[in-house]
Structures are given as structure tokens and as C-alpha cells.
């Protein structure tokens, strides 16, 4: 019984010794009576009992039982009621978020075109175009592209291409001349040897190098030719879109120039077709002789075919009487036949025979530079004014 009573006491220290009235530990009781006497001072020493702190720690465990947490449950609906008005204004924000796709375009917005840019693109002079792009309509670009074509040779195509281009430049325009004739006469007329150029229009049309790599600056910019062009038509015959090779090459520079003048070979082969496919207008130099005028019918047929299949915008700018010798009756009759058959398409300007046209290429220059005050130069200045004003009409 003594052991049971001692174990039930809350005032017995852990060592087993009982507390005395003077605070000193007492010896173990030998009988039960003595233990009962020492039990009386215990209430007076309650404030000194520090071990009860351990018992107090056990009470908080019962606190959750005394204060059950389910009681705040009625307050939870109150919390739901209060945030409801707060969540209502947040609903529109949630409505904008549901589409998960919006954040993705936001990351690439800097690289995307705006709607205004896509619907109304703005091109500035000199911007150029991506390689391989089509040049589009004349209203969409800066340059007006003119080909000089006639399948008959010896009608002053090269002379007209060079001198009219230089006359445009004298008027303050930026001009590019392109030599598509394998003979390279336009290239030689600007003092460049076609046999010594590293790259030429052959490389542009066949190997598709940028046209800027074959442009040389002289009186005007000129895309040079070489004898390799003689084999260009065979090399291009196996290519897809071979008729548009020149058009694609020009797409990179059509915003750098006001005029692009293309000299063509004396044939209606693939090189000439490329020139006509890329052009807005065609100027037809015609020697004032009967046999030269017969070629106009074939050229018109070729143009009609190109308009139907490749380039609907190409039109004849005008027919230019060249190498006119006003002293002969035959020359006068030839001009009359042109005007009767083609009417307003015949230019009012006339290019008369002059020795200066043969001398200027020897010096590697145009006649406007070789003899700026002579009649020969004035012929092409008059023609440039007519073209710039209203074409042949």
C-alpha cells in the first residue's frame, strides 16, 4: 500500500525522496504513518513545485476537445459571403484568361507584323526586296522597267539603251542598264571588257547569284554581260520558272532605281522573253527600212503571248525610227508606213544617222558624254523628254 500511495502522489519528486518543511529532502519513510505526516506540508509547498509544468503541457492536448474547431464552421459561410462581392469583379479577369493561347503570341510580339503593316505595307526607296520575290505592279515599286527589243539586228538597240539611260541620268534619275546580249556591246560601250569580267548576267540567270554582284558603276550602273550568255538559254532550259529568272533577280534592286533599261539580243529567244516578262514597257527601235519594219509583226505576236501567259502589264511604250537618212526617199516612205500602221505608237523623236554614234563606244562612253553639245546627243535628250512626259502619245 505504501508504494501505491507514493506513486499516486503528485508532490513526490522523481528521485523518490519526499519534500520536507525546511526544503531539504527527507529520508525514505520506513512506515506508512510517517509518510502520512509528511504529506501535510505538501499543500503549502505547491508554489514551489516546478515539475507541474510538465503536467500543464498535457492540458493543451485536451484543449482541442474543449474548444472544438468545428465551431468556426458556421463562420466559414460568412467568409464565403463576404468574398462573393469581391470575386464578382474578378470574374471579367477570369474571362480574359481562359484562352491559353494568348500568352504564346505575346512572347513573339516583337517579331510579328501588326495588322496595319500586313494590310498596308510601306516600302521605302532603297529597301530592296527579298531574293526570289516578284517585282509586282509598277505602282508597288520605284523603278520603271523598259526593254529595248527587236529581233532584227543592227537597228541601234544598244545605242538607244545606253544613250537614253544616260539622258535619264542627266535629268536626275537613278538608272540601271542591263546587258542581256551575249555580244556584250552595251558592256563594251561603257569601257568594260566582257572577256575579263569575273561574273556576269550569265551567273545571275543560271546560278542565281545576286544581281548586285555584277553591277559596275560607270556613267550609269550597268549589269555586265559576257560571252557565257550565249549558252544561258541552253542552261536555263531545264530550270523551272526559267522565264522569270530575270524578274526574280531584279526584285532585289527595283526600289534602288527610277529606271531599269534592258538591252536584248537580236532574237525572240529565252533571254528576250525574260526581259519582256520583267518589263513594264517596250521601246522598239526600228531602222527606217522596209525589211526592218517587217519584224514588228513578229514582235507584236510575241508580246501578245507574254501578256496572256507571263506578264499582263507589258505594253509597247513606243516605236522609235532610228538611223534615219532624211536625204533618201526610201527613209521618208518608211516613216510614213510606220505612222500609217502604228499611229500614236510612233515616237515624234527621230534618231538620225551620225558618225558620233560609232565613235563614242571606242572611247567607252555614251554620245552624251563624248559629244555633249552635238546633234546626236540632242536626239536622245529629246527622246528622254518625250518618254518622261507622256511616252509615245
Domain boundaries 141-390, corresponding CATH code: 3.40.50.300
Average pLDDT, the chain: 77
**What are the residue ranges in the chain where pLDDT is below 50?**
1-10, 12, 15-16, 19-24, 26-27, 29, 31-32, 35, 37, 42-48, 51-65, 67, 72-83, 85, 87, 94, 96, 98-100, 102, 118-126, 131, 392-393
The residue count of the chain comes to 393
Q: Which cell is 91 given?
A: 470574374
pLDDT at 324: 92
Q: Which cell is 192 given?
A: 568594260
pLDDT at 110: 59
Per-residue burial over 335-344, b if 16 or more Cβ lie within 10 Å, else e, is beebeeebee
Q: Which residues contact 299 (CB under 8 A, 6 or more apart)?
A: 149, 150, 151, 268, 284
What residue spans define the domains of the chain?
A: 2-58, 141-390
Q: Which cell is 147 given?
A: 526593254
pLDDT tens digits for range 262-320:
999 998 899 999 999 999 999 999 988 877 777 788 888 889 999 999 999 999 999 99
Question: Rounded to two decimals, what is the model's pTM?
Answer: 0.66
**SS3 state at 263:** strand
Count the neighbouring beta carbons within 10 Å of the beta carbon of residue 20. Answer: 13
pLDDT tens digits for range 244-256:
999 999 999 999 9
C-alpha distances in angstroms, 241 versus 13, 180, 208, 211, 270? 108, 18, 12, 17, 11
Measured between alpha carbons, how far is 349 from 387 in angstroms, rounded to an integer? 10
Amino acid at each position: 500500500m505504501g508504494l501505491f500511495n507514493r506513486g499516486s502522489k503528485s508532490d513526490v519528486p522523481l528521485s523518490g525522496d519526499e519534500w520536507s518543511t525546511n526544503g531539504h529532502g527527507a529520508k525514505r519513510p520506513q512506515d506508512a504513518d510517517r509518510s502520512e505526516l509528511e504529506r501535510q506540508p505538501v499543500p503549502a509547498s505547491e508554489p514551489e513545485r516546478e515539475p507541474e509544468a510538465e503536467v500543464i503541457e498535457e492540458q493543451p492536448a485536451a484543449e482541442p476537445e474543449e474548444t472544438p474547431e468545428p465551431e468556426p464552421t458556421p463562420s466559414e459561410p460568412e467568409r464565403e459571403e463576404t468574398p462573393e462581392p469581391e470575386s464578382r469583379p474578378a470574374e471579367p479577369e477570369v474571362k480574359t484568361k481562359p484562352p491559353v493561347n494568348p500568352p504564346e503570341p505575346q512572347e513573339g510580339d516583337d517579331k510579328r507584323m501588326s495588322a496595319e503593316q500586313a494590310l498596308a505595307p510601306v516600302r521605302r526607296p532603297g529597301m530592296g526586296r527579298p531574293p526570289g520575290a516578284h517585282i509586282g505592279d509598277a505602282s508597288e515599286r520605284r523603278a520603271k522597267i523598259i526593254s529595248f527589243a527587236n529581233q532584227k539586228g543592227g537597228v541601234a538597240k544598244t545605242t538607244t539603251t545606253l544613250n537614253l539611260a544616260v539622258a535619264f541620268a542627266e535629268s536626275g534619275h537613278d538608272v540601271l542598264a542591263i546587258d542581256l546580249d551575249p555580244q556584250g556591246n552595251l558592256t563594251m560601250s561603257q569601257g568594260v571588257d566582257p572577256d575579263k569580267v569575273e561574273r556576269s548576267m550569265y551567273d545571275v540567270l543560271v546560278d542565281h547569284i545576286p544581281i548586285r554582284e555584277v553591277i559596275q558603276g560607270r556613267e550609269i550602273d550597268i549589269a555586265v554581260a559576257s560571252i557565257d550568255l550565249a549558252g544561258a538559254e541552253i542552261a536555263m532550259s531545264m530550270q523551272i520558272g526559267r522565264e522569270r529568272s530575270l524578274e526574280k533577280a531584279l526584285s532585289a534592286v527595283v526600289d534602288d532605281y527610277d529606271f531599269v533599261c534592258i538591252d536584248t539580243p537580236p532574237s525572240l529567244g529565252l533571254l528576250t522573253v525574260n526581259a519582256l516578262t520583267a518589263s513594264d514597257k517596250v521601246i522598239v527601235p526600228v531602222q527606217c527600212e522596209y525589211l526592218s519594219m517587217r519584224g514588228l509583226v513578229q514582235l507584236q505576236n510575241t508580246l501578245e503571248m507574254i501578256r496572256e501567259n507571263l506578264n499582263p502589264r507589258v505594253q509597247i511604250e513606243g516605236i522609235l525610227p532610228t538611223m534615219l537618212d532624211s536625204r533618201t526617199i526610201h527613209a521618208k516612205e518608211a516613216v510614213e508606213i510606220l505612222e500609217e500602221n502604228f499611229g500614236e505608237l510612233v515616237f515624234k523623236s527621230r534618231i538620225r544617222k551620225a558618225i558620233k554614234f560609232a565613235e563614242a563606244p571606242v572611247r567607252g562612253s555614251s554620245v552624251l558624254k563624248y559629244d555633249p553639245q552635238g546633234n546626236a546627243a540632242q536626239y536622245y535628250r529629246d527622246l528622254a523628254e518625250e518618254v518622261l512626259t507622256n511616252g509615245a502619245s
